[in-house]
Structure 1
Amino acid sequence: MIELSRLRQVAFAPAHTPDIADALVTASGLRIDADRRRGRGAGLNPSGRFEEERREAFDDGWQSLEDLEPFKTEVQVEKPKTAITRNESPDLPFDRSINPYRGCEHGCIYCFARPTHSFMGLSPGLDFEAKLFAKPDVPKLLERELSKADYKVRAIAIGTNTDPYQPIEREWRIMRQILEVLQKANHPVAIVTKSALITRDIDILSEMAAKGLAKVGISVTTLDRKLARSMEPRASTPTKRLEAIKALTDAGIPTAVMVAPIVPALNDHEIERILDAGHAAGATEASYVLLRLPLEVSPLFRDWLLQNYPNRYRHVMSLVRSMRGGKDYDAEFGKRMKGAGPYAWQISRRFEMATKRLGMVKRGLPLRDDLFIRPNGGGIQLSLL
């Protein structure tokens, strides 16, 4: 850890000094005590970017910090007006998605969805992992939207923002209800998760898959259990995810292994091993995404990297920036997922060669949209004639 005195010196260094931002993320006054955040991914809980005031916990000499309780998972009910979120992003293979939850208890330090918590007046840091929002009305809203006469069928993606099978799904079962609505309507769905909990719904998914209506992508970031527990503290272990791939494929559900995200100098050496393991488990499709560090994710990830892999910090960030035009992140469509430059090209070639050797495809057959049965009712006034 860089001492506070060192931080004061860095703060007065020339503005172009490259280590200023890197040093600031290690400020001892910003980091939450390890006992309070045990089992969490982020070490910081900074105010959201829309807040007028920034608040930090500090020890005033009266041992006040010792009285603070550990971060516990709290779930509030959110009542959205619609179930389906639409997008026009040219580099996404879907134009609609559903998010049963806001925030994610998995606590993946690299999660690009963390900045969305700022819209709720909360921190993208520990708040994102501990202060969650469940949307129990989504199944009913979904049925209502599918009932509309002008609804046009296309595959719905679930799990593209926060994980629909995060731990609180065991109690809330919102994802299970969503699948029941989609199954009844014969509506195509594509799911992404890093949780073995998805095997609970094999009964529904296997029946939908038999009709060409469902497929799954399991994210396997690393095969190193220690790295996974640090980087994705409450997600399923790598072994459990591979077992989930096998269970899904054995049930006839098309399943892809996703090497996501690829973090240079941290897990990029595992690309071939992960693909081999996924293929052995039955995966027939594969994909990858390069590490993304938008907005508040960058300082959170850099702080985590300094605390867990300080000897690799400079190397990791140097490679990240070499693929992002010298920045921590480049949001340009077409580049944000894969990066650019020699190192990004090397990763792309390695992935391509490995999948070709294994006979895996990047994208399988499209899901069917010709079996749709429009739900009756769902809160929609039916036609008189």
Structure 2
Amino acid sequence: MTNQLKRRGGIGSEYKSFYKKVRGNEGDKCKYSVRLDTYGCGCQHDCDYCYARSLLSFRGFWNPSAPSIADIDKIKRKIRKIPPGTILRMGGMTDCFQPFEAEHHVTYETICEMNRCGVGYLIVTKSHLIAQPEYLEILDKDLAHIQITVTTLDDNKALTYEKASIPSKRVEAIKKLQSAGYDVSIRLSPLIEDFMDFDSLNSLGINRCVVEFLRVNSWIKSWLHDVDFSGYRLKQGGYCHLPLEKRWKSSRRSGYRR
């Protein structure tokens, strides 16, 4: 595949800080603390609940209409220095399968390089693109771990607060990958009870689930509507969270107790 990976200056320019080791308090809590973003400084999905959007907006670095693009040559050089068996998380601050990927294919080439080097990858995405034939041809079942995020099963509801693939397409992608034998999970991130139809969720026949809850700050409060924030009383790390007992109750409603 051909790539046009660089634009000169400003919006859409080469993205340099594509690789990050998460340290400190956040790193201690994260199982996959080494992250690789093929796009940066904005995400076309522009989700209203996104903590990365709030962090980068605060610093004036968020541009969802034209995110920056990582230099694939630099990515390849970095991957070649990583010990085989390491698992990189793809999609820490932006989605590695946002619409730009269909044009630039940086994620495609990154996956190919990790396959060659025996480096594992955890892909976290809100896109159905990952289950398209060109990606199914390269995803290595021994190296690929996939989590596809769904916040509601209502396609119309989703469009009011995120610009990702509609949920029905994401669920279809999960089932396709699951049937093909991949390590794939539905990721309820964030799980907001009022947005989720739990009966429909439990009837999908998806084997694995990951749950993450909403982190609330003033930016997210101003963007995300139809959410009662009064229950987010636990303050930690600059965010407000639901109390543990409430999160446990919501997790059990998802039906995934393994």
Q: Deviation at 1:355?
A: 1.6
**Would the alpha carbon gap of residues 107 and 275 (structure 1) be closer, same or farther in structure 2, given more than 3 Å must change?**
farther
Q: Is the 8 A contact 1:109 1:300 kept in 2?
A: yes
> Taking structure 1 as reference, are residues 100 and 119 closer, same or farther at Cα in structure 2, changes over 3 Å only?
farther
Q: CA deviation at 1:143?
A: 2.4
The normalised TM-score by structure 2 is 0.83
Query: 211, 219, 244: which is aligned to 1:296?
Result: 219
Provide Cα deviations, 1:113-138, integer angstroms capped at 9, x if missing partner: 1134347634x5xxx42242111x1x
- SS of residue matched to 1:261: coil
Runs of at least 5 residues in structure 1 that lack an aligned partner in the other structure: 1-73, 362-385
Q: What residue is the counterpart of 2:74 in the other structure?
A: 141
Q: Which amino acid aligns with 1:109?
A: D
**1:220 and 2:150 aligned:** yes
**Larger Rg over CA atoms:** 1
Give the 3 Å change call, closer, same or farther, for CA 141–236 of structure 1 in structure 2. Answer: same
- Tell me the secondary structure at the aligned position of residue 75 of structure 2: helix
Shift of 1:224: 1.0
The whole-number CA distance in structure 2 between the counterparts of 1:153 and 1:341 is 34
Number of equivalent positions: 243
8 Å contact kept, 2:85–2:118: no
Superimposed CA distance per residue, residues 41-72 of structure 1 (whole angstroms, 9 cap, x where no aligned partner):
xxxxxxxxxxxxxxxxxxxxxxxxxxxxxxxx
| 3-state SS in 2 of match to 1:290 | coil
Alignment RMSD, CA only?
2.6
| Counterpart position of 1:274 | 201
Are positions 1:253 and 2:186 aligned together?
no
| Residue in 2 that maps onto 1:350 | 253
Aligned pairs for 1:158-237 within 5 A: 158-200=90-132, 201-205=135-139, 208-209=140-141, 212-232=142-162, 234-237=163-166
Q: Is the Cα–Cα contact under 8 Å of residues 275 and 286 in structure 1 kept in the other structure?
A: no
Distance 2:44 2:104 in 1: 14
User: How far apart, CA to CA, are the structure 2 residues paired with 1:165 and 1:272?
Assistant: 29
| Mapped contact 1:165–1:175 kept (Cα < 8 A) | yes
Unaligned runs of 5+ in 2: 1-9
Counterparts of 1:295-334 in structure 2, within 5 Å, are: 296-301=219-224, 305=225, 309=226, 316-319=228-231, 321=232, 324-325=233-234, 330-331=236-237
CA displacement at 1:251 relative to structure 2: 2.2
CA-to-aligned-CA distance 1:216-264 (integer Å, 9 cap, x gap) = 11111111111111121x2111110111012212222111011121224
